[in-house]
């Protein structure tokens, strides 16, 4: 198995939550920014249940400077969890030095202290007046925190994909996410998702 | 097409199939939506009318198949797209397309089966069905795609072979390829090789609609061209009328088979990776070929002499590509998301030349590189 851990070229993200939260849309916009505008290799995949809403939903993005063979994640570098169930289910797929970003409106129990909580749903609902843009607030934060995408390109990709008439709202949501992420001191977080006590 | 050439686009496998169909000249699509193939219909519903083509949402899949056969006989290049349950329903009319030698492309985006099975999960369970789903000995070509760029280029090849040999081509995709988004740059339409069926050049009175040319393929008049002809699902003579005369039946059946066997070298397509000095080979197709490539690269880093043969054409089974590999290697591994539908073909060709190992997964999950790697190093 160690042979497979030596992959350095791939950077892998997962957007997870429940169906209807717009996670696949967020992942598609992210991939478009990275692939079409930044010009890197990108693979975006997804898995979801047969329900239209509810049920588990996840979307993955693999970024690389070279062509991508296996399209799904092998070692997760970044996990966005938009609800408790997703956080609990996918936390264990994360690299020890990976980043865990959660919607602190909906995730109450944190599995590690190396975690970033931003109240995406709360910001979307109470500040922007539309709960549906929580995914775009999260997208802004993901973009800023992973540092794998040009943020101007992220906005360009976003404006290409969203329905006409909602550009302002969506781009405001994205900016709010970026702002919130800027307040986070990533280097101040514990360096591993495993606390020192756990290490053997 | 749509001024998208030479632009970087982020497309799903399904969307790339739609673009590929249009680039190949498809102007008629009839289908019935089904997960995970629906995006193909959605794309073509918007795009076909813009190029003067026709999109019809049918009442079910057997009717979809009927509609594309009819439109093809009227001279159009046609396609339908479905998944397992719909593909089951298409089988009767697929047989009709085989016997009446009607070019058409049937896309089957495989999902977990049998029956309604696992609508949103990947599978490769329809491989043998694509070959033998409709009854009777019949010629058919089956191809598999493994990436978004494949989905574009192999769709075009599927149309070309279908037109060239007057045979239905089944294009197998799976849920992983269908819903993976990747960047592709669509080539300039001028640089794409597009093959059209040969139309009769003789005066209408001389036309024998089912007389094969030197390749065994009859020239095809479109209804409305002024060439009167009869089309039937019964075994027919060169004029298209039913016959039971043993010599005519035999001649007809032989021609159907031989038109494909004569084209073997062109029809059988594979891609080799790191095979030159390989002592072990992985034989894979569809999305699993990508997991296999990763596993092979990882094993190479550990000094294992292993390579990958990716099958693009599944049927006619590319034995002329597989057979030398079985002689060269001491073992081959065939990973599949089914119980061993292609490993059985490999074993058939093998004749005890080397060890054929299987790796099968039928739980609705995609095979990972780690699984293949773990099997590989044991060989």
Q: What is the pLDDT of residue B6?
A: 75
Mean pLDDT (whole number) for A135-146: 98
The reply to whether residue B369 touches residue A74, judged by beta carbons under 8 angstroms, is yes
pLDDT at B266 over 60: yes
Tokens (6 digits) for B157 = 């090849």
In a domain, A1, yes or no: no
Residue A50 reports pLDDT greater than 90: no
Count of structural domains within chain A: 1
pLDDT(B92) > 90: yes
Q: Give the one of B181, B293, B294 whose C-beta lies nearest to A28's C-beta.
A: B181
Angle value at C-alpha B239, between B234 and B244, nearest 5 degrees:
40
Angle at A44 between CA B307 and CA A143, to 5 degrees: 125
Average pLDDT rounded to a whole number, residues A73-101: 95
What pLDDT does A3 receive?
41
Tell me if A1 and B287 make a contact (CB, 8 A cut-off). Answer: no
The boundaries of the domain holding residue A168 are 10-194
- Give the mutation candidate from A36, A47, A65 for the B interface (greatest B CB count, under 10 A): A47
Cβ separation A3–B366 shorter than 8 A: no
Partners of residue B179 in chain A, C-beta under 8 Å = 45-46
Q: Which pLDDT band, with edges at 50, 70 and 90, does B314 fall under?
A: very high
Q: From its phi and psi, is residue A189 left (phi > 0), alpha (psi between -120 and 50) or beta?
A: beta
B92, B109, B128: which is closest to B34 by C-alpha? B109
Residue A109 falls within a domain, yes or no? yes
pLDDT average, residue stretch A160-184: 96
pLDDT over 80 at A187, yes or no: yes
pLDDT, chain A, mean: 91
Give me the pLDDT at residue A49, please.
72
Mean pLDDT (chain B, rounded) = 96
Interface test with A, best of B10, B16, B85 (most A CBs within 10 A): B10
Please name each of the domains of chain B with its CATH number. Answer: 8-191 (3.40.50.970), 271-376 (3.40.50.920)
State the pLDDT confidence band at A199, using cuts at 50, 70 and 90. low
- Shortest CA gap A37–chain B (Å): 8
Distance from CA of B117 to the nearest CA of A (A): 11
**Averaged pLDDT, B135-150:** 97
pLDDT of the residue at A48: 76
| Cβ distance of A36 and B9 shorter than 8 Å | yes
Rounded to 10 deg, the angle between the B148-165 and B13-24 helix axes is: 40
The CATH number that applies at residue A98 is: 3.40.920.10
Residue B290 with chain A: CB contacts under 8 Å:
69-71
Q: Mark yes or no for CB contact A36/B183 under 8 Å.
A: yes
- Whether A136 and A127 have beta carbons less than 8 Å apart is answered as no
Chain B residues bordering chain A (beta-carbon distance below 8 Å):
8-10, 35, 119-120, 176, 179-183, 287, 290-291, 293-294, 297-299, 301-302, 366, 368-370, 373
Average pLDDT over residues A111-122: 96
CB contact under 8 A, A70 and B294: yes
Q: Which of B180, B297, B368 sits opposite A43 (nearest CB)?
A: B180
Tell me, yes or no, whether A199 lies in a domain: no
Give the pLDDT confidence score for residue A40 in this predicted structure: 96
| Shortest CA gap A36–chain B (Å) | 6
A2 in any annotated domain: no
ipTM: 0.90
Nearest CA to CA, how far is A83 from chain B (Å)? 22
């Amino acid at each position: 198995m160690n042979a497979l851990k030596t992959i350095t070229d791939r950077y892998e993200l997962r957007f997870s939550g429940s169906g209807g939260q717009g996670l696949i849309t967020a992942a598609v916009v992210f991939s478009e920014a990275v692939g079409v505008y930044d010009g890197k290799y990108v693979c975006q995949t997804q898995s979801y249940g047969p329900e239209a809403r509810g049920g588990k939903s996840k979307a993955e993005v693999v970024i690389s400077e070279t062509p991508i063979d296996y399209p799904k994640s092998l070692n997760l570098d970044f996990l966005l969890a938009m609800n408790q169930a997703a956080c609990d289910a996918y936390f264990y797929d994360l690299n020890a030095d990976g980043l865990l970003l959660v919607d602190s409106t909906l995730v109450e129990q944190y599995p590690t202290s190396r975690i970033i909580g931003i109240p995406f749903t709360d910001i979307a609902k109470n500040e922007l007046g539309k709960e549906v843009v929580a995914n775009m607030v999260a997208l802004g934060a993901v973009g800023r925190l992973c540092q794998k995408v040009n943020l101007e390109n992220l906005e360009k990709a976003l404006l290409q994909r969203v329905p006409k008439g909602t550009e302002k709202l969506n781009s405001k949501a994205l900016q709010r996410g970026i702002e919130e992420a800027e307040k986070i001191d990533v280097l101040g977080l514990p360096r591993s998702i495993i606390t020192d006590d756990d290490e053997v | 097409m749509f001024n998208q050439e030479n632009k970087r686009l982020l497309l799903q496998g399904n969307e790339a199939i739609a673009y590929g169909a249009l680039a190949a000249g498809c102007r008629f699509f009839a289908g019935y939506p089904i997960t995970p193939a629906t995006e193909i219909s959605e794309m073509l519903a918007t795009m076909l009318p813009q190029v003067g083509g026709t999109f019809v949402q049918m009442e079910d899949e057997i009717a979809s198949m009927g509609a594309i056969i009819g439109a093809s006989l009227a001279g159009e290049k046609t396609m339908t797209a479905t998944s397992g349950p719909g593909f089951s329903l298409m089988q009767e009319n697929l047989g009709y397309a085989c016997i009446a030698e009607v070019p058409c492309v049937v896309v089957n985006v495989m999902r977990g089966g049998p029956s309604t099975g696992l609508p949103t999960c990947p599978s490769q369970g329809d491989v043998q069905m694509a070959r033998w789903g409709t009854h009777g000995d019949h010629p058919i070509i089956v191809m598999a795609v493994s990436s978004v760029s494949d989905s574009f280029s192999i769709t075009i090849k599927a149309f070309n072979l279908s037109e060239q040999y007057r045979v239905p081509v089944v294009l197998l995709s799976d849920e992983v390829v269908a819903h993976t988004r990747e960047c592709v740059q669509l080539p300039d339409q001028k640089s794409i090789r597009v093959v059209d069926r040969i139309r009769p050049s003789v005066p209408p009175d001389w036309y024998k609609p089912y007389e094969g040319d030197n390749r065994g393929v009859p020239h095809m008049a479109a209804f409305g061209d002024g060439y009167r002809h009869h089309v039937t699902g019964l075994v027919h003579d060169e004029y298209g009328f039913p016959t039971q005369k043993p010599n005519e039946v035999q001649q007809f059946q032989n021609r159907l088979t031989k038109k494909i066997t004569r084209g073997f070298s062109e029809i059988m397509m594979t891609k080799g990776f790191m095979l030159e000095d390989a002592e072990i080979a992985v034989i894979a197709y569809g999305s699993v070929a990508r997991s296999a490539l990763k596993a092979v690269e990882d094993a190479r880093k550990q000094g294992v002499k292993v390579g990958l043969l990716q099958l693009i054409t599944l049927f006619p089974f590319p034995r002329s590509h597989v057979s030398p590999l079985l002689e060269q290697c001491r073992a081959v591994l065939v990973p599949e998301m089914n119980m061993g539908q292609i490993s059985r073909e490999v074993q058939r060709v093998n004749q005890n030349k080397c060890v054929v190992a299987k790796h099968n997964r039928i739980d609705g999950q995609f095979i990972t590189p780690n699984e293949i790697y773990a099997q590989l190093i044991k060989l």
